[in-house]
Structures are given as structure tokens and as C-alpha cells.
Amino acid sequence: MELKTYQKQVIDDLQNYFDYLQNHKQADVAFNTYWQDKIGQYNPLSGEGMRPYQNTVPNAVHLSIKVPTAGGKTFIACNALKTIFDAMPDTKTKAVVWLVPWSNLLDQTVKNLSNPEHPYCQKLNSLFNNRIQVYEKRELLQGANFNASTVKEQLSIMVMNFASIRAKNKDDRKINEQNSNLANFQINEIDILEGTEREALINVIRSLNPILVVDESHNAESDLSVEMLNNLNPSFILDLTATPKQNANIVSLVSAIELKKEHMVKLPVIVYNHQNIEGVIESALHLQNKLEIEAKILEANGGKYIRPIVLFQAQPKGKEDNTTFDKLKEQLIKIGIPDEQIKIKTANKDELKNIDLMSKDCSVRYIITINALKEGWDCPFAYILASLADKSSEVDVTQILGRVLRQPYVMKHSGTMLNLSYVITASVKFQNTLQNIIKGLQQSGFSEKDYREKDIMPEFVKEETKQESLDNFFFPEQVETPAEVENSFDVTKISYKPDESFTTTNSTVFEIEEMAIAQNEQFQKQIANVENVNITNQIYTEVGMKVKQYKMRESVAEQAQQIELPRFVIEVPRSDIFDLGQGDTQLLDRVNLLKSFKLSDKSIEINFNKVSADLYKIDTEKTTNDGYKMVSVKIENNVQEQITAYIVAKPKESQIKDIAYQIVKEIDKMPPISDNEIKKYVNRILENLSGNELLDFLQYKYSYTKLIKDKINQLADIEAEKIFLEWIDIDKITTQANWKFETAIIPSKIGNDIGNSLYTHEGDMNGLEQQFIMEISNAPNIAFWHRNLGRGKGFSLNGFKSNHYPDFILVTKTNKVIVVETKGSDRDNSDSASKLRLGKAWEKCAGSTKFKYFMIFDRNAIDGAFNLEEGITRIKQI
């Protein structure tokens, strides 16, 4: 199981934050700068931008990931652990406390993380070399394979629920009591939590300075919960939620449209409001039958096994009473539903325990509940939510709606109705019910646009109910209270024959099917058009974040919207077309050029005299009063004496193997260069070093690793450019007009207003850039100019370099496009020359009569580039 595109973006965002942390040293500064570069400065008056970092747990970096329900938060977290630990010193104990709010979610998490057949466990094993151990609190208290030695050698994941840390009852208090099973752990005085005994489990955990993964973290916002997090003495906290609360430091967020594109969810939700409960039940039964017939046809034609399930949301009278649910089950059995197909799941009665609802051997098709199937309950076969509330009630499906959204097998099914989910109600307060449906969608990370509804409740019934409510208000003594009307219905009014194989004649199901087909078609068009939308704006708007945008100036908008800039594309073999969905070409990526790249015959000459000791990794440092805080601290010269002594004591061959392993791990992925290629290359370097030089490598590992990685990138650049030029000559690489100006931009900082700009405000500029554009902006031939944005926001020259973002795009009054890169005379000329060669190749392939590339220096221009004055003169003549 590999990461989906949007899941990989979450991991990339997390890594990007760590890059900011390395540069800015402090967690809050890194976070604030990270978001400022993405969406501009925070404005507390307008609420635009991301509000500053919230330091609720002072001893840890505290970040939040927002992913809608069914988006794979747990799988993302498994991958994120590798990214987090890689950002920390090698001496950091790989201890994780995985916190969940409920016992059912705890059982599910332990099972999935421990099961070697489950994708979560498989991913963790692949990332941590099959050295992981998952513990429950009981095992930790018993010291079962949990001791000071094991935690140093493996990834230890301690799955606990919030109550275990809050310690309100006798069993939970054991975490704070002396425990001889844990005597082998060394507990420092500073790690002992006030009011606990030294060798208590809580203090062992505190001594490990663990990573916290907080699942459904919106449930951990109270003062008590924040105290719980602080008590664990974490070094890093990763929140997972679909609905971040006010204090969440969101590092990455996923739009619902991304889940729709990847077929993760059954959307839209089709909502149908009936006249009475009998109509709800009859439609639910017929709709389940319709879906199951469609599922059987799908399976017979080679599709996956699906057994659609109805969730009957019952309404108890007063306090939850199991007799209410048993009575409802009896009534369904009277209709003819087999007993084994109906299960009750409430707070006090769980007939689903130890049942695998996804198994072909399982017969369950109907589940009676209230809100017991909340977050953490997972069955993609749940398709229909049927509310049995009395028609005068406001139906609250907020807590349970997310349980029918997960798409079976994460794929689009050929049967249209199997790609959607359904809510059936009978409420005269239907508009209030719809608001609860919207709340349910929002709590799952979706929007008010993700449902479609039909209401057939007669108006006179609604008026009568209003009158009854008024009578009840003014003359309460005259109104009789009906005896136990909740969930009551007349079995004789329901037409259904479950024991026969039949095709439904239920008119409601026909209407629902018609709605489903129409809305599914509309949804697919929305997904197909998503690439034409300002994605950045869409994501932040969808989650309610205000982002300051700057639109095109009206005087030039029409001209700008007609312009398309070409980028390099590469031919795609015919067999790959269907996978890509992009015709017979795709955007060229540097990876395409390096598929045959080998390091085996490349030079290993590296000037290690340039080693710098100024690299950082995140760690804790002592503060005056509040314990520790998370910062990025200098790590070089901190020789890890025990590890060094251990390695140096070995024969040279073993030393090389150990050091190579650490360096390759630090270099991480460099696609498409394989880990094995990198390992062999590092070994070749180490084999030529003396014993003292190997010791130096250990002492300055991060600096040496950076030089090796830079050398590999340099060699790859040379190879990529060579292949690029060869493919250009044989027309394997061409250009294709496929980039357009956004209708609005979101710069990280705003520059000074200079005339003739494309947008009402442009991005910030340095001195040379501002000097250049002031000279050229009012030239008679220039229609408008744009300060091109970087970091994935603007136009890039894709090719043998990893995306070159030029500084400016100029458009003349005759629609010629001039792309300009400005350079100070102090810049690295080798990098400038490489960018210039790429730019000129683009100009030639795109058509030099319409597209031009200029590189302009303030002085001392390299061959093929221009000094400032000469460049401006040339541009004015175009």
C-alpha cells in the first residue's frame, strides 16, 4: 500500500516544515514563516492568513494534520513517523505514544498496527526495518518485552486512550504508581511528575521524551487534555483530525475534492425525506436490496464483493434502554428480515463484537444504533443511514453520518449507485435535519455542497405539527403525551419480501436512483474540472480559512487570460496512456531523464575540507521556568561517544558498513536513484578513507552527508542535461502550451506598487528586481508584467533542473512573452549558466518569435546573459 498523491503531499508539507525549522531554529518562527510563504502574512484584523503558532504544550513542537474522514489519517501518520524521527538526532529513542479517545478505536488501532497482514503494520515494518513493537497499557505495566534495552533497539508504539493518562479511576491510576516491572529504566529526577512515584509507568514514558500521535485530536482541546499532553513530556506532537480546533497548528490540510478524485469516499450524500417512519423503513429495505443486486452483478463481472448495510438510527424514549432496540429488532423480524442479518450496537449492547463485517461469511445487513457508531467505527459496506426518529423530531445525524462515507476498496465501482451514500428520514423539521447533515459533513471534513436532497413531506403535515407545537406551548394541560411512540411503526404498512429474489417496484428507490445518477454525473464533471481551478484558493476556502488574494487588473485581464505558456512534455508509451489519463504526453520531470542513471562509474572526488559544523537537528533545550521547549539545535561536534567507540572497535570493513548505513539513511530518497546505488557509491567513498578519516566522518556525519548528497545531485544534473539535449534533438521532448495565469494570486509578501502590473498587487522584490521592473514597466511595448511566484505557485521551466522559477513574466502589446531571470553578481555562476542553458532551450523549442528568455545581471554577466542596462534596452526593442 503506497501513499495517495494527496497523502504524499501531507508528508512533503511536514518535511517542508522541518526544513523551515532547520533554517529558523525555533518552532513558532518556523511555523509562522512557513505559512507566510504559502499564503501571505497573518492579518489579525481581517483574519486572513494562518494565525500564529499556539504554544499550548511548551516542551514540544505541536503540529496538526487536517484530513477528511476516510482520508487515511492513520496511514499518513505511519509514514510521518519516519519523517519525524529522521529530523531528530540518531540518539533519539524511537518511542511513540499513540493516543485515541475511545476504547473501540484503541482496539482497532492496536489490531491494525500489530497485524503483519495489515498495510499499516507492513508500512511501519518497511520504514523501520521490521523492528517495531506495539504495546497496550496492560503490557506496559507488566513490562512484557518492554524494558530499557528493547526500547533502544526498536520503534515502540504505546497505544493508550485519553482516560489512561488522565487517571480518574483505580485501574487508570496504576500508571502513576510504583512498578517493579519497570525497575530497569533509569529515571532522572527532572522526569518525575509531581504526585507520582519514581518507577511509575508515567515517568518511564516521560523519560523517553516520546513522539505523541493524537488521533481525533479535536477531542483533546480541554484544559484537562492539554495537561494530559504536557504530563507525557513529549518532544513532538502530531495531531490527526478532520476538524481542527482553535489551537491547532495546522501544517497540512487536505481538500475533500482530493478524496473524491482518489475514490476514497461515497459522495454526494443523497438525502430523502419521507412522510412517515414506515416509508423510511420500506425505502431503506428496498434500497438495500437494489444496492445488493447491483453489487452481485458487479462481483459476477469481476468486481469486488460488497454487501450493502443499513444503519437504523433509533430514537430511545428518555434514557437509553435496550428494550427500545430489542423491540425494533422484533418488528424488523416480523417483516421477514432474518434474525442473523440484524445486530444491535449501543453503549450498553454490542452484538458486533468480534464480527468481521467485510467477510463474505458475514450475513449482517442491518445495524440498529443511536450514535454508538461514532468516530473510529469503520465499515465501508455501510451505505444507508435510516433515521427512525418521530416525525416531529429534529433528526440529528451529526455524529454518525461519517460512518457511511468510506468507499469500499478505495475505488470507483462500475455500478453508479455503489459510489454514493444515502440518508433517509421522516421529519417535518427537515431543514433543521439538513443543517445537522451539513454539520455531520463538516465534522467529517467535507462541505455543505456534498449532499443532494428531496423532501416529500406534505406541507399540511408541517402546518399541523406547527399547530400542535403551539397548542403544547399555550395549553400544555390539554395535550396528551403519547405512550412510547419512538421507533413504533405499523408492520402491515410495509411492503417487502426479503425471502424472495425480486426487482424492486418501490417508487422512492427509482427516484433515489435517478437523483444518484444525475448527481454522480455532475460530481464527476466537478472532479474533471478541478485542475482548472485555483487549487490553493479552493483548499483554504473549503476549510474556512481566509486568504488574501489579488485579482488581475481589469484593463489587462482579458489579454492575460488568452495567453498560454509552453512547458516541456515527453512522449508517453501507448500502454501507459490509460494510467496517466493525459493523452500521449505528460509534463517532463527530471526523474524521466535519470531512469538509466548509474553511480557505479561516477567520480567519488569530493572536497571534504569544506565540512561545516553548522547543521542542526530538532531537540529540546532547557528554559528558565517551563521545563523544556522544542528548538532546532546545533548538533555538530557533539560526538556520540558510545556509538563512536562501538563502531571504531570493529574491523574496518564493519566500520564502513555501519557508517554507510547511517549516511544512506540520512541521505534518504533521491528518486529515481535507488537506495542500493547510493549505498554502493557511499561504500566506494568510505573504502578510500583512513581510520582517522572514518572517525571524522562519525563526528561530522551530517556535514559529510550533505557534501555527498550535493555531489550526487551534481552528477545527476550533468547526466540529466546530457539526456535532455539528446532527447530535444530527436524530438522526444517537445513543448506544449499548458500554463495559464491564475485569475488571482496569493503572494507571501507584497511588493511596492509599480505601474502596469498584471495583478492589483504583486509579490515582494529585492533591490535588483525592483530596479529592473521600474525601468521596464512603462516601456511603450510592454502591456503588463508579473512578478512570478515560486514554491509551486508560479510558472516554472521544467527540465534537467528541478523546476526553475524565473523572476518575471513580461507580455508585450503584440502578445509576445518575455521570461526574465535576474541575478546579482555574487551568485554561483555554475548554477546561473545551467539555468541559462535551460531557458535558451525553452525559448528555441517554444518558438523564439513569440517567446523569449533573458538572464540579466546587475554586472559581470556570464556569456549569453546581459548586464542590466543592455538587457533593458534589448527588451524595449521587442
Calculate the average pLDDT of the chain. 81
> Strands, E, within 432-588: which ranges?
451-455, 550-551, 565-571, 585-587
β-bridge mates for residue 823, sequence order = 857
Helix (H) or strand (E) run with residue 630 in it: strand 628-634
**437 contacts 269 by C-beta, under 8 angstroms:** yes
Rounded Cα gap, residues 355 and 363, in angstroms = 10
- Which is nearest to 839 in space by CA: 732, 746, 735, 753? 735
> 392-431: per-residue pLDDT in tens?
566 666 667 778 888 888 888 888 889 888 888 887 765 6
Residue at 317 is within a domain: yes
Rounded Cα gap, residues 723 and 702, in angstroms = 31
User: Crossing angle, helix 5-24 and helix 73-86, to 10 degrees?
Assistant: 30
**61 contacts 21 by C-beta, under 8 angstroms:** yes
**748 contacts 40 by C-beta, under 8 angstroms:** yes
The C-alpha torsion from 415 through 420 and 421 to 423, rounded to 10°, is -100
**pLDDT attached to residue 576:** 42
**Is 463's pLDDT higher than 50?**
no
pLDDT range class, residue 530, cuts 50, 70, 90: low
**pLDDT attached to residue 61:** 93
**265 contacts 70 by C-beta, under 8 angstroms:** yes
Rounded Cα gap, residues 805 and 762, in angstroms = 16
**58 contacts 234 by C-beta, under 8 angstroms:** no
- Which is nearest to 852 in space by CA: 828, 876, 832, 869? 876
Residues 787 and 857 in one domain: yes
Rounded Cα gap, residues 380 and 437, in angstroms = 19
**pLDDT attached to residue 621:** 52
Helix (H) or strand (E) run with residue 819 in it: strand 817-823
pLDDT range class, residue 374, cuts 50, 70, 90: low
Residues 193 and 165 in one domain: yes
CA distances (Å), origin 625, targets 58, 59, 188, 261, 628? 11, 11, 18, 49, 9
Residue at 651 is within a domain: no
Taking only Cα atoms into account, the Rg of the chain, rounded to an integer number of angstroms, comes to 31
pLDDT range class, residue 574, cuts 50, 70, 90: low
Residues 240 and 384 in one domain: no
- Which is nearest to 848 in space by CA: 811, 812, 816? 816
Residues 206 and 280 in one domain: no
Q: What's the CATH code of the domain at 814?
A: 3.40.1350
The C-alpha torsion from 375 through 378 and 380 to 383, rounded to 10°, is -50
Domain termination site, one of 528, 557, 583: 528
> 702-711: per-residue pLDDT in tens?
788 888 998 9
β-bridge mates for residue 266, sequence order = none
Domain termination site, one of 508, 528, 548: 528
Give residues with Cβ within 8 angstroms of 754, minimum separation 6.
762, 770, 773, 774, 777
Residue at 700 is within a domain: no
Residues 248 and 267 in one domain: no
**Is 828's pLDDT higher than 70?**
no
Query: If you search the block for the grid coordinates 511566484, which residue do you land on?
Result: 789
Residue at 126 is within a domain: yes
Helix (H) or strand (E) run with residue 36 in it: helix 27-39
**Is 568's pLDDT higher than 90?**
yes
> 116-164: per-residue pLDDT in tens?
999 999 999 999 989 999 999 999 999 888 998 899 889 999 999 888 8
Rounded Cα gap, residues 98 and 212, in angstroms = 6
Rounded Cα gap, residues 807 and 812, in angstroms = 17
Residue at 51 is within a domain: no
Domain termination site, one of 481, 509, 528: 528
**pLDDT attached to residue 335:** 84
Residues 247 and 266 in one domain: no
3-state DSSP call for residue 842? Answer: helix
**What percent of the chain is modeled with pLDDT above 70?**
79
**pLDDT attached to residue 716:** 92
Amino acid at 451: Y
> 168-190: per-residue pLDDT in tens?
555 567 888 888 899 889 888 88
> In terms of DSSP bridges, do strands 95-100 and 155-161 run parallel, antiparallel, or are they unpaired?
parallel
| Tally of structural domains, the chain | 3
Whole-model pTM: value is 0.76
**761 contacts 753 by C-beta, under 8 angstroms:** yes
Average pLDDT over residues 288-313: 91
The phi, psi pair for 366, rounded to 5°, reads -140, 130
**pLDDT attached to residue 808:** 97
Burial profile 48-86: b = 16 or more Cβ within 10 angstroms, e = fewer: bbbbebebbbebbbbbbbbbbbbbbbbbbbbbbbbbbbe
Average pLDDT over residues 452-477: 48
In the DSSP assignment, the letter for residue 414 is S
Residues 249 and 354 in one domain: no
Give the residue with greater pLDDT, 584 vs 790. Answer: 790
Which residue range is the domain that position 859 belongs to? 740-876
Rounded Cα gap, residues 636 and 432, in angstroms = 61
Instruction: Please report the DSSP string for 48-103 in residue order.
Output: BSPPPP--SSTTSEEEEEE--TTS-HHHHHHHHHHHHHHTS-TTS--EEEEEESSH
Rounded Cα gap, residues 205 and 87, in angstroms = 21
Residue at 559 is within a domain: no
Burial of 725 per CB tally in 10 Å (0-12, 13-18, 19+)? middle
Give the residue with greater pLDDT, 19 vs 322. Answer: 19
pLDDT range class, residue 666, cuts 50, 70, 90: confident
Residues 823 and 804 in one domain: yes
Residues 208 and 280 in one domain: no
Residues 267 and 247 in one domain: no
Rounded Cα gap, residues 585 and 571, in angstroms = 5
Residues 368 and 499 in one domain: yes
Residue at 239 is within a domain: yes
Set of cell numbers at residue 460: 399540511
Rounded Cα gap, residues 516 and 454, in angstroms = 12
**823 contacts 865 by C-beta, under 8 angstroms:** yes
Give residues with Cβ within 8 angstroms of 431, minimum separation 6.
none
Residues 246 and 98 in one domain: yes
Of 252-256, 381-385, 705-709, the poorest mean pLDDT is in: 252-256
**719 contacts 712 by C-beta, under 8 angstroms:** no
Rounded Cα gap, residues 394 and 622, in angstroms = 54
> 129-140: per-residue pLDDT in tens?
899 999 999 999
Residue at 497 is within a domain: yes
